[in-house]
Amino acid sequence: MDLQGILEEIAYALAPRAAAGAGKVADYIPALARVPAAHFGIALRTRDGHEAAAGDAHLAFSIQSISKLFTLTLAMQTLPDEELWQRIGREPSGNPFNSLIQLETERGIARNPFINAGAIAVADRLVTHGDAKRRVLALLSSLCGEAVVFDEEVAASEAATGYRNVALANFMKSFQRIDNPVESALDMYFHQCSIAMSCAQVARAAGYLCRDGAHPLEDGTQVVTDRQARRLNALMLTCGTYDAAGEFAYRIGLPCKSGVGGGIVAVVPDTLSLCVWSPGLDHSGNSALGMEALEMFVSATGLSVF
């Protein structure tokens, strides 16, 4: 299959629409509001290491909630299952990613690790185990074979305006679901969201999810076990795109994780990982053209888990 040609066709079809301003850039984080909407990039890496890319695939963007996939991976590597899942569920929330509503009725237990509350709870567990910020950068740098860094300006911008995330953390703390000071859990959370990576880097970094947990670049190294990789893919499919997870499964049928920076990473198990980026978002906070691009990719290749 001519994967490079397919990515080029998708970029050719969608880049003009990004330039015309499809979707709405996340403006509730001031540093993200300044990102021009007119970007479109797409990249993939196959199970056996072939890479393809088109459009702005090598430009770094704010990975935002895509980071939740990698902090969960780190938590799976670090913590026994009982400790990890004691305070976080594994069900889709059906609510916006920053909603407070279920936390009260469910006594501070976040529905899943891919909404903000769940990711803050994961960040808290990682802080308890030490050196969390350095470890997430080390994991990502190793996975994509290039140095990955925080964008301190984005992290500071979120820390200054992340009122909902502060509320979520305090609310969970009131039910004794957060061990560390909320400031420490949030500092980790805001930093992980600020990580800047390109589509090519994210597609490569997610490679272990289409290789039964095996490191994309290092032969013989497991990032997670094959069972954990299956579970991460299952959580992405059911919870990775917030309250649009059903629509994503219906239209695309791949495990996906999105972020309000406009990136979406997707996995075709046993075959390839890909990442698309376009900053304009739809009403659920997912990249509007990113979703279309994935739909086009699946139609062109016939690759889907269904």
Q: Which two tokens stand for residue 125?
A: 């567990």
Contact string (CB under 6 A) for ligand GLN, positions 18-37, x = contact: --------------------
**Which residue has the closest beta carbon to ligand GLN?**
65
248 sits near ligand GLN (criterion: CB under 6 A): no
Instruction: Determine, following the binding rule CB under 6 A, whether residue 116 of this chain makes contact with ligand GLN.
Output: yes
Coil, helix or strand for 21? coil
Alpha-carbon Rg for the chain in angstroms: 18
Q: Which is nearer to ligand GLN, 64 or 198 (CB)?
A: 64
Selected from 253, 259, 262, 269, the binder of ligand GLN by CB under 6 A is: 259
Shortest Å distance, C-beta 211 to ligand GLN: 26
Q: Supply the DSSP string of 123-151, one letter for each residue.
A: HHHHHHHS-HHHHHHHHHHHHHTS--EE-
Looking at 143, 285, 294, 298, which residue binds ligand GLN (CB under 6 A)?
285
Whole-number minimum distance, CB 98 to ligand GLN, in Å?
5
Q: CB under 8 Å, gap of 24 or more: what pairs does 214-222 form?
A: 215/142, 215/143, 216/45, 216/49, 216/143, 216/144, 216/273, 217/142, 217/143, 217/144, 217/145, 218/142
- Binding ligand GLN (rule: CB under 6 A), the pick from 93, 157, 165, 278 is 165
Element (H, E) at 41: strand 41-46
Q: Which of residues 78-97 bind ligand GLN (CB under 6 A)?
A: 97
How far, in Å, CA of 113 to CA of 84, rounded?
10
Q: What order do you get walking across the sheet with 149-150 strand by strand?
A: 61-62, 195-197, 149-150
* Number of residues in contact with ligand GLN under rule CB under 6 A: 11
Between residues 242 and 303, which has the closer beta carbon with respect to ligand GLN? Answer: 242
Helix (H, G, I), strand (E, B) or coil at 177: coil
Query: Is 157 an interacting residue with respect to ligand GLN (CB under 6 A)?
Result: no
98 binds ligand GLN (CB under 6 A): yes
Asked if 68 and 121 count as a contact pair (C-beta separation under 8 A), the reply is no
Select the residue interacting with ligand GLN from 193, 205, 210, 264 (CB under 6 A).
Answer: 193
Residues in the site for ligand GLN, rule: CB under 6 A? 64-65, 97-98, 116, 158, 165, 193, 259-260, 285
